[in-house]
Amino acid sequence: MKLKLDLHDIYNKGSEIDKALYGIIQEAIRKKATQVEIIPGKGSGQLKKKVLRFLEQKEIKALYHRIDKDSKNHGRLFVYFQWK
């Protein structure tokens, strides 16, 4: 199962971005999703940096397996989960 989060609508609302990111991670855990696609958009790259900082937090990092940046589209990130 793959989940998708598009941050275009809330790009300038810091607390809502954190809530949306935390929510999609929790949904992925509940549904045992293998992949979450996060779309911060291309822009100046500030939103993508914020998303990466969120994902690098110790308590969040423990929840997923790895992160990939899309090589063809720098406005997209993939978060992968492994379930045993």
State the pLDDT at residue 7.
94
State the pLDDT at residue 77.
95
Q: What is the pLDDT of residues 19-30, one digit of tens each?
A: 999 999 999 999
Cα(12)–Cα(31) distance, integer angstroms: 29
Length of the chain: 84
Cα(33)–Cα(45) distance, integer angstroms: 27
